[in-house]
Amino acid sequence: MKLEDLNIPDPIISAIRKTGVEALNPPQVAAVKHGLLEGKNLVVASPTASGKTLIAELAIIKKFLANEKSVYLVPLKALASEKYDDMQEKYKSIGMRIALSTSDFDNQEEWLGNYDLVILSNEKMDSLLRRNAKWINDIRLIVIDEIHMLNDVSRGPTLEVVLTKLMNITNSQVLALSATIKNSDEMAKWLKAKLVESDYRPIKLSRGVLYPEQDNYTVEFADKKYKIDQKYDGEIAACIDTLNKGKQALVFVGTRRSAESAAEKISKQINKLLSNDDKMALKPLAEEIESVLSNPTRQCRRLANIVKEGVAFHHAGLIAKQRKLIEDAFKAGVIKFIVATPTLSFGVNLPAFRVLIRDVKRFDSSYYGSYFIPNFEVCQMMGRAGRPKYDSEGEAILLAKSVREAQDLKERYIDGDIEPIYSKLSTEQALRMHTLALIASESVRTKSELKTFFSQTFFAHQYKDMEEVMNKVEKILEELRSYSFIQYGDDEKFLGDFRPAFSLTADIKLKATRIGKRVAELYVDPLSAKLIIDNIDANNDLGYLTVINQCMEMRPTLRVKKGDDLAPGKMGIKIPDVWDMEYEDFLSAFKTSLLLKDWTNEIGEDKLLEKYDVAPGELYNKTLNAEWMVYSARELAFLLNKKEIANKLNKLRIRIKYGVKEELLELVMLRTIGRARARLLFTNKIRTISGVKAAKKEKLESILGKKIAQNIIDEVTQDREEKFRRIKNKG
């Protein structure tokens, strides 16, 4: 089907053509024939790189031409940013207004109502629904990317509740995009959608195994077999063979440590094969990656040294800028190999000629050992092989240590079935959070309405029996009531009375209390909020940090190791007895609190890595979560009429955000001043914003350099002029 057959304006056809698309491929044609442009609900299940994004874009364009709003939901922030950049590049020229929002869960974001397309993380959409953002009623198209994430125990319940809510309150077309899954027909029935299922892939994908055999490695696919030199370990031998073909590869391993060590091993052999031009291009890249932090850590230096040899590791321990530099360099062909943890397979689009999968087992203490990762996850990794516009074929290879293991891997992951997707809504934490949110947002007002809502979920559709969920909901309602987060009926006297005031078998009114509504808006687990409230009178910052680190939102906390010197002192909080089962978890939370305390005492990332084995990216995520939880604690303290405590918590929140001692709080309020520059100013006796204003330009330049000094002067001058204008207008 040609683009001209779609009955859309020429400027839009031109915008699509710029991406290299001249005609629709089979799944795209099928989507159009199934009513994509007539507003029909669709579930599109097809392999990676089969053109699902263009299907979404066609639906978005159709709504844009009708002056109707679309939302595009994704599971990861990085994926949201990538989609935003791509859409802006394609469609800004035709007048489409596109917005991105993935953070700040305590804001209605009413400004988003002015945009034609809003790209959101699933959690951000949930937050907006809890706050009853007015523009949500205007949505006419809901695109759900990676809908198979319903199967994820941590993210799936939120996506499921979000979709159920949106289908209830909007008159929207639903377009769900998914990799090939076993029960896509079941998902389509739940969404009242037509199923578009295809095995089309523009780049042929050969899936096979590598195993040692005599003096060589054998690489075996269904339709071909060849040998490569066995001089090195499997992943190194396969990488050398890839480079000799003039290609790139992604190597998937199980852990961050494995990613770093494997990347280092590969780099030592690959560097001999790089051209001088390659080495010249890699040197400045390595320097930029190393200097991202003002004080490079051991990890930064290790990564930079590996990058010089054309290889990189990629995991959540890197900071965002380093990951972006690596991804861009790989797309440009400068970096030849990325060794990554499996999370990369669900993130940004990084195709390669080859995907090498070394580790197919994952350790989990709840399993008392290791288990084979799901077939679906392996398929996601394999789907990264084959670069459109560059390759006519991609290769996905499982690395085996023996012929026997190769046969097992082939049976499990190549010939085996992909697992079906199952709802994870019945987990207690998910039900607790979403039950309170439904009541607080007044999406439900009675117990029967609550049951009706849950009966519309994917869980109810799959299992046809609401008894399991409603039995848990009954207990959760009592739990929320005992916390004084909800009340039954209209009688305020029952607030705080832990005895049931009504029979839960009867239909009763449900209403959130003031503090219960705020807990739902803050997007924290009610159990976490109760823990914070019970310990709101902690003695010091370390006490508050230890409280929030015991909350589910801060997991995983740091593992306690033999030889750790952990001696919790008096903090004004409840500490389990040493023989209690909870004591080990408490110590992990306490150790994480010591990390955050050191961060707020201006200990550098390099020293924190040495002391706690916490990489900069991991540290950033922990400080981001801690800042949010302390903000939530502040809000709860304010509602409890503890304003002095609220002020202390606000001070702690800002210190966590910037990683500074209290004396630098005023200086870091300046936009261009971080912890290092603030400390430089303070050391040079410039200790307040007034001091910055009064300082001579020459002195600021000698401390911070000309460019930064001028930026600060401009900022404080503008602030002063703005303040003068406000006073003048008021007068």
pLDDT tens track for 17-61? 777 788 888 999 999 999 999 999 999 999 887 889 999 999 999
State yes or no: pLDDT of 730 exceeds 60. Answer: no
Closest Cα to residue 672, out of 685, 689, 649, 694?
689
> Helices 122-130 and 514-522, interaxial angle, to 10°?
160
DSSP state of 552: G
Q: Is 141 in contact with 71 (CB distance < 8 Å)? A: yes
SS3 456: coil
- Residue 480 backbone phi and psi in degrees, to 5: -65, -35
Q: Is 148 in contact with 118 (CB distance < 8 Å)? A: no
Q: From CA 54, how far away is CA 568, in angstroms rounded?
A: 56
State yes or no: pLDDT of 728 exceeds 60. Answer: no
**CA–CA distance from 314 to each of 197, 301, 318, 325 (Å)?**
32, 14, 7, 11
DSSP state of 194: E
Range 527-659: architecture per CATH: Orthogonal Bundle (1.10)
Q: From CA 603, how far away is CA 597, in angstroms rounded?
A: 9
What is the tens place of the pLDDT at every residue in 204-219? Answer: 999 999 999 888 999 9
Answer CATH for 204-414 from 3.90.1150.10, 3.40.50.300, 3.90.180.10, 1.20.1260.10 = 3.40.50.300
Q: In the numeric block, which tokens belong to residue 53?
A: 């994004």
Instruction: Please enumerate in sequence order all residues whose Cβ is within 8 A of that of 86, keeping only pairs 6 or more positions apart, or say none.
Output: 53
- Residue 415 backbone phi and psi in degrees, to 5: -90, -15
Among 142-151, 483-492, 534-543, the minimum mean pLDDT is found in 483-492
Q: What is the pLDDT of residue 724?
A: 47
Strand ranges in 264-392 using DSSP code E only, listed in sequence order: 311-314, 337-340, 354-357, 361-364, 369-372
Q: From CA 442, how far away is CA 449, in angstroms rounded?
A: 10
Q: What is the pLDDT of residue 465?
A: 79
More confident call, 723 vs 134: 134
State yes or no: pLDDT of 682 exceeds 60. Answer: yes
Q: Is 638 in contact with 522 (CB distance < 8 Å)? A: no
Closest Cα to residue 245, out of 395, 398, 48, 382?
395
SS3 100: strand
DSSP states of 646-667? HHHHHHHHHHHHHT--GGGTTG
Q: What is the pLDDT of residue 5?
A: 77
Q: What is the pLDDT of residue 389?
A: 75
DSSP states of 264-284? HHHHHHHGGG--HHHHHHHHH
For the whole model, what pTM was predicted?
Answer: 0.90
Span 464-474, average pLDDT = 86
Amino acid at 319: I
| Fold match between domain 204-414 and domain 527-659 | no
Q: From CA 41, how far away is CA 35, in angstroms rounded?
A: 8
Cβ atoms within 10 Å, residue 461: 15
Fold classified for 666-731 = DNA polymerase; domain 1 (1.10.150)
State yes or no: pLDDT of 502 exceeds 50. Answer: no
Q: What is the pLDDT of residue 68?
A: 96
Q: What confidence tier does 110 reach under pLDDT thresholds 50, 70, 90?
A: confident
Q: What is the mean pLDDT of the chain?
A: 90
Instruction: Please enumerate in sequence order all residues whose Cβ is within 8 A of that of 465, keeping only pairs 6 or more positions apart, or say none.
Output: none
State yes or no: pLDDT of 504 exceeds 70. Answer: no
What is the tens place of the pLDDT at every residue in 72-96? Answer: 999 988 889 989 999 998 888 889 9
Q: What is the pLDDT of residue 209?
A: 97
Q: For tokens 């969404």, name the residue.
A: 191
Span 224-247, average pLDDT = 91
Q: What is the pLDDT of residue 437?
A: 96
Query: Is residue 699 classed exposed, middle or buried when 0-12, 13-18 and 19+ CB atoms within 10 A define those classes?
Result: middle
Cite the DSSP H helix spans in 100-183: 122-130, 156-169
More confident call, 508 vs 196: 196
State yes or no: pLDDT of 290 exceeds 90. Answer: yes
State yes or no: pLDDT of 496 exceeds 50. Answer: no
Q: What is the pLDDT of residue 295?
A: 87
State yes or no: pLDDT of 195 exceeds 90. Answer: yes
Q: Is 252 in contact with 342 (CB distance < 8 Å)? A: yes
Q: What confidence tier does 106 reach under pLDDT thresholds 50, 70, 90?
A: low
Closest Cα to residue 68, out of 31, 118, 109?
118
Q: What confidence tier does 347 reach under pLDDT thresholds 50, 70, 90?
A: low
Q: What confidence tier does 536 reach under pLDDT thresholds 50, 70, 90?
A: very high
Cβ atoms within 10 Å, residue 394: 27
State yes or no: pLDDT of 562 exceeds 90. Answer: no
Span 533-542, average pLDDT = 94
- How many CA atoms does the CB half-sphere of 625 hold within 13 Å? 21
Q: From CA 301, how far away is CA 289, in angstroms rounded?
A: 9
Residues of the chain with pLDDT > 90, as a percent, come to 71
Residue boundaries of the structural domains of the chain: 3-197, 204-414, 428-510, 527-659, 666-731
Q: What confidence tier does 169 reach under pLDDT thresholds 50, 70, 90?
A: very high
State yes or no: pLDDT of 501 exceeds 60. Answer: no
Q: Is 615 in contact with 318 (CB distance < 8 Å)? A: yes
SS3 79: helix
Cis check: omega of the bond before 556, within 30 degrees of 0: yes
Span 502-526, average pLDDT = 85
Residues of the chain with pLDDT > 70, as a percent, come to 95
Cα–chain-centroid distance for residue 299? Answer: 22
Span 374-381, average pLDDT = 91
Closest Cα to residue 361, out of 234, 209, 235, 253?
253
Please tell us whether the domain made up of 3-197 is placed in CATH 3.40.50.300: yes
DSSP state of 413: I
